[in-house]
Each structure stands twice: as C-alpha cells, then as structure tokens.
Structure 1
Amino acid sequence: MKAFVFPGQGAQHVGMGQDLYEASPKIKELFNRANEVLGFSITDLMFHGTEENLKETKVTQPAIFLHSVLLTEYLGEQFKPAMVAGHSLGEFSALVATKAMSFEDGLTLVSKRANAMQEACDITPSTMAAIVGLADEIVEKVCTETDGVVVPANYNCPGQLVISGEIDAVKKACEALKEKGAKRALILKVGGAFHSPLMEPAHEKLAQAIEKTEIHEPICPIYQNVDAKAHTDAKTIKENLIAQLTSPVYWTQTVQNMVADGATSFTEVGPGKALQGMIRKVDNSLEITGIEKI
C-alpha cells in the first residue's frame, strides 16, 4: 500500500517550484491564481527570492504548500495514495491533494494560518529546540518540571523530539536535558513556539476560518497530527485541524500507525528530505522515496 506524505515548514529553498511552473499551462495558471489569492507574487519569491525572504512565515508556508500540491497535480494518475499524512503545515497540503478541500480554500487557510502564527509569535518571545538522543518520557518529564511554558511539540522519530515554549523555559529545559544525557539540545531558528499553548491567539483566529471552510471526505484516509489516527469524516477532520496549532505533532506515532495499517512504501511530496529521514528512523525496512523535482 502506497502512502504519500507532505512536509512542513523548514523544507523551503530558493528556486523551489520553478520547474513545475514551466511544466504545464494548468500548473502555471494555478501559480498565477495563487499570486492573486495571496495578494503578492509568491512565484517571484519562490523562484528568485533570497533565503531570508523564504524564511518569513507568511512566505514559507504558502510556498511549501504550493510546491507540494502542484507536484500532485503534475503527477496526475500517478498520485494514487492508499493513505496520506502531512507534518504540521503539510496536513493542509494533504487535504487539498486528496480533494477534501479546494485549492483556493487550502491556500487561503494556509495564508491565514501563517499570518496568525506570526502575530502570536510577536505577542510572546518564544522558540523551539530539537532534543536528540533521549527517550520521549524523559523529555516530557523535564518539560513538566521546568518553570514557565515549555511542552513537547513534534514527536518526529525515535530519539528526536522538538520542544516548544517561552525562550527562558526552553533554554532551562535544554540545560536539564543535556544533564540527562541528550546528545543534542539545539535551539531552532524559528519565529516562535509552534504547537504550544502560546499559539492560542492564532488558534482562535484560524478556528473561525476553518469553521467557515467547506471540507469533504478525502479520496483516502488522512492520518492527522493531533492523534496520529486515520480519518475520513469531514467533521472530525475539521475539528482536528482546529486543534492542530496548539497540540503536538505525533509524527512517530503516525508513521507507526500507517505501517500497522498496511503501508509498505512512503513517498514525500514537496521540497526537502526531512520526512524521509524521520520515517527511516521509525522503520528502515520500508521503501522510502521523495518527489521534489520533475
């Protein structure tokens, strides 16, 4: 059974998607439509912008979404998933690719999500850190014992958990985790504490937008971040999407559940290879590939 997975923020690079733009009139039309929906030229920033341009959340998120979704458009009949999942932002790409949401609605939500997250980041100085080489339970315990807001945010693969919260609390947790034997406790270059309670202001704004968006049953099950389980019911998908911003991304558990449900191959659709690396650490016996360029 073929599983397709979609990357999140951090996979962007200069020049991304330019080959797609030139591949077909329909894809060019969708890129141009994206420029209209967003109100700025995302294509110029993707194809010719700087790394700094692409690091801006309001640019990064729609850029990665577009790259992934339009790759599935290019694949056409070759895109026949038995199941899908997306890491954080990638969940929106997965929903559009599986016809649960229209292209315009997906792009509009991603843009609103990016702007709301940026505003939430501006309210409270916050950050994230990657913890490598410790059991999840140890990281969870240290987070609960640390003063301030710091929580597990991304369960990426065995031995790698990203924590998220207030800057001082994250730094304190990193020191404590190094003492516990973490191989690395690295502060990430991100705008704020994604997938933590500090995203509550963004959660409220995005919830209103998601509530108004029409969501249909996808063409195959989507394994969602908040519970790592397969869903096809439109109402449940919507509820999980609303909860996603302030909840952890259970990626390790998602991959494990997809394998338990019969997935034998995983294809990452979009820029970068981050998900391929994570999946290998969950189960290196799987067939794991990526589609980034055409």
Structure 2
Amino acid sequence: MIRDVEMLVGMFPGQGSYRRGALLDAWRDGDVVVREVYAAVDDAAETLLGKNLTSVVFSADPPTAEGLFRQDPDLAQLAAYAQSVAMFQRLHADGVRLTGLFGHSLGEIAALVCSGAYSIADGAALLCERIRVLRELDSSGGVMLALGASSERVQEMLALVGDAASVIAVRNSPQQTVVSGPAEPLRAVAAVAAAIGVNATPLRSPHAFHNPLLQVARDELRRRFTAFAQLPLRTPVYSPISGRFYRDTDDLAELLAQHLVVPVDFGTAIDRLCRAGASAFVEFGPGGTLAGIVRANAPMATVVEPFHDTAAAVNFLTAHTAKADVAGTTPSTVDTPAMAPPVVPPQVRNVQAEVVPSVTAAPSAARDEVFQRVRGLYAETLGYPEEVLTPEAAFEAELGIDSVQQTELLQQVTKLFYLTSGNVSAPTTLSNLDSIVDYIIDNRATVGTTT
C-alpha cells in the first residue's frame, strides 16, 4: 500500500502545454541549463525528423500554441517536452529536490527523464521515434475532445453515439473527461454534449491518443524503444496510465508503447498521491493546465507554478526540501488491478491532449477536509479525544490550551499546509478550530503564480 509520507511532487504536462515566450529570456541570456536541454532536443529532432526547434520557438517572433500546432504539430510536442525538462533542470540546479514525479500522457516521458531513467537526449529521441511511428502507421484520422462531465456521464454519451472506436482517453477530474476516436463519431458526441448542456472542446492533437486504434503503431513503437538504454530511477515516478509507481525492473519500452492504447486516469493519480502524503504539486509547464486539474481534485493542495515566478517557487521548494528528501520511502509496489488488454477496432484511415482547466470542487468538501486534518493534528499533539475538539470550542477557556501551546500548534499547522510563516496570526485572533480553518483557507496560496 502507499505509505503515509509527506511529499513534494513534480507534474509534467503533455502535448499542448507549449506557450509562446516561455524560457525565451533565459535562452537569450545564455542560461547554460536551458541551452543544454534545447541543444539535446535539437540534435534529436535534426537527426530523426530533419527539424530544428530553437529556430522556431526562440525566433524573433515565436508562434503561439495554436500557431505552432498548425505550423508543425511535431515541434509542438518537442516544445512541450523541452520546456518542462528545462524548467525542472533549472530548479534542480538551484537545489530543489522533489519526492516524486508524474506526467500527463506524453509528460510521462519527461517525468522519467527527470527521474534519471533516460538521458535528456534519449528522451527527446524517444519522442521523435514516437512521432515518426505514428506518422507512418496511424491512418485512423482520429481526434480528441474534452467534455465537461464525469466519466460515467461521458460513457453514456458514447453509448448513445454507438461507435466502438470512440473511447474515454483521459479522466482528469469529476468535471472533465477526454475522449478520442474517429472524427465523425466525435462530432456526434459533441452534438450530444451541446444538446444536454455539456461543454465540449476539440483538442489540438494530431492523433487519437490512448485509443486501441493505435495498436499497430504501439507494436512498432515498442520495438524501437527497446534500443534505448534504461537507467535506474533516482526519483520515484507514478504512472497515471499504469496506476502505480514505476519500478527499475519494469520494461519501460513496453509500458511507454502501451501508453498509445490505454487511458490516462490523472484524477485518481492525484488522489492516490495525496493519500500517500503529497500536499504540494509543482507544475513543470507554463500553461497552468495541470494546476487546474489538481485544484479540481484536491482543492487544499498547494500548487507551485515556477514558470510564473521562478524565484518564488525556488524559495518555497528549497525551504521544504528537507521534508521531501526522503529517498526510498516511496513504495515500489502499489495495490492496483492488472490492466486488461485493449480491444482493438479495425484500423481505418489518420492529444496528448491539452486539457482545459476543470471546475474547482465544492468549497464545503474542501473545508471539511481541512477541519478533519487540523482536528487530527491537535488531538494527536495534545492527547485529546477528537470528540472534544469541536469547531467552536474555545482553546483557552474551554480546552485549557495556553498561548504557548497555541503558538506551537499554529507553527505545526503552518508546516502541514505549506503556509508562509509571515502570514501567521497572533494566537489570540485564532481562538478555536473554526478560526484556524478559516485562516488556512484564506492563506492557502498558490506559490509562484501571478493569478
């Protein structure tokens, strides 16, 4: 089972996460780390695809995300990979150490690279081979569609359309599910969604990822991926596709190829990591997409967005690195059901989805979660039964908790919820658990963001 440890977790977005201007100043200033990452990506792209990334994304007039996808979807994927790996390497060079990593679809390659399982150059080459194989072998014409509904409701919509090749590809949250399949049936799904008031957003994707339509490409991709050296992981990586942590004994070529045909369950990944002790998530993408998904699934988790304010993110994360530096505490096994082999529809003619941020979960549920955690902390520290720690019970008058104890407990709350010490109010202004919960919710900041 997943152990109860506190963790700082890095998240790597998939295709569609490229943003115009991200890391441009660092590149122009000659940042060594950024230039080394992009040089490795350029080498792979030029060798395997005959393309150059930096001449496009660091040009005098870089394209927008939409413009790059229309101009060259291959470079859009490489740009997403390069941006996330470069930012991770910058933070690592500044002393940031994370407890765990995970990626959204294509982002799993970046997560494995940053864990040490592959070199940066090999990660870029893996991505280039993936692009080449899909170009050669995917004739399905598949697309992807994000729907503002639960997977159960989306499954009902798919049943109405009745196309076996249209499947759930990504479960992001109870409010968002992504489907993939042939273009015409997905247009019908979008029409059903419009009729019942469900938001439907076509995604920038060159293929119907996470769909058995790509089985032929999956088989060839596994063969090509076996040529790349697999190294021991330095940092644990959780796979939202496999539903467990990767192990050094895993055949990564097999698992990464399998990604093409099996769905992503990102919402469950967030839930399991939170239960494992994760309370701060770092997004290594400039778009904030994964941050939005975290907020929808775990509204009280801290979200760190270094692309918005790198210095603030580094300061926050290095201050908490001591908690994260628990190498070896993440389990190598997680209780998960075995993956069933995908059903493969007949191959017909040719995202890593960029996912629209989801709606935040109900505030009442978030407040109750905070209260339960705070009450547990106070009960354990004071040796009180939880029943006496009601929301309104006065700390000093009713519970006999003096000002010194209140200050010490408030410091523990600050650490537990990753609040800045400068925000801590005087004990006299926080006189019961209800006021402590209000304080946490009011000061629960998103670190390194301008929003």
Q: What TM-score comes out, normalization by structure 2 length?
A: 0.60
Aligned length: 291
Q: Which residue of 1 aligns with 2:268?
A: 253
Q: Deviations over 1:232-274 (max 9, x none)?
A: 3342544321211111111111111111111010000122100
CA distance in 1, matches of 2:203, 2:37: 33
AA at the equivalent of 2:57? M
**Distance in 1 (alpha carbons) for counterparts of 2:248 and 2:177:** 29
Q: Secondary structure at the match of 1:246?
A: coil
Q: How does 1:225-264 map to 2 (within 5 A)?
A: 225-264=240-279
2:75 aligns with: 59
On the 8 A contact 1:109/1:206 being kept in 2, the answer is no
Distance 1:148 1:136 in 2: 16
Residue 162 to residue 182, structure 1, CA distance change in 2 (3 Å): farther
2: CA distance, partners of 1:23 / 1:74 = 13
Deviations 1:103-144 (A, max 9, x none): 1110100111123334455x1222111110x33112124324
Residue 213 of structure 1: CA displacement? 1.6
1:15 aligned counterpart, secondary structure: coil
AA of the residue aligned to 2:52: S
Show the 5 A alignment for 1:73-92. 73-75=89-91, 76-92=93-109
Residue by residue over 1:56-85, the C-alpha shift from the partner in whole angstroms, topping out at 9 and shown as x without a partner, is: 221011111111111122112533111110
Checking the alignment, whether the CA contact within 8 Å between 2:18 and 2:285 is kept in structure 1 is no
Report runs of 4+ in structure 1 exceeding 4 Å deviation: none
Q: Which runs of 5+ in 2 are unaligned?
A: 1-6, 311-451
Distance in 1, Cα, partners of 2:266 & 2:179: 14
Q: Secondary structure at the match of 1:227?
A: coil
Structure with higher Rg: it is 2
Tell me how far 1:154 sits from its aligned partner.
1.1
For residue 44 of structure 2, what is the aligned residue in structure 1? 37
Of stretches 88-97 and 55-64 in structure 1, the one that deviates more from structure 2 is 55-64
How far apart, in 1, do the equivalents of 2:197 and 2:258 lie? 30
Percent identity reads 25
Q: Identify which range, 191-200 or 47-56, moves more after superposition.
A: 47-56
1:208 is aligned to 223
Larger mean CA deviation between 64-73 and 195-204 belongs to 195-204
1:284 CA drift (Å): 0.6
- TM-aligned CA deviation for residue 205 of structure 1: 2.7
Q: Is residue 14–residue 54 contact of structure 1 (8 Å, CA) maintained in 2?
A: no
Q: Which amino acid aligns with 1:162?
A: V
Query: In structure 2, how many angstroms separate the alpha carbons of the residues matched to 1:100 and 1:192?
Result: 26
Aligned to 2:130: 113
Match 1:190 to one of 205, 218, 231: 205
**Greater relative contact order, per chain length (Cα 8 Å cut-off, separation 6+):** 1
Cα offset for 1:177?
Answer: 4.1
Q: Which deviates the most, 63-72 or 17-26?
A: 17-26
Deviation at 1:23, TM superposition (A): 4.7
Gap runs ≥5 in structure 1: none
Alignment of 1:121-132 (within 5 A): 121=138, 123-132=139-148
Shift of 1:148: 4.5
8 Å CA contact retained: 2:213, 2:261? yes
Task: Tell whether 2:63 aligns with 1:47.
Answer: no
- 1:9-61: per-residue Cα shift (whole Å, max 9, x none)? 11112233323323533432342333222113211111124232355221011
Q: Provide Cα deviations, 1:171-230, integer angstroms capped at 9, x if missing partner.
A: 223333445x45212333432311112222332232112222222231222111323322
User: Which of the two has greater strand per residue?
Assistant: 1
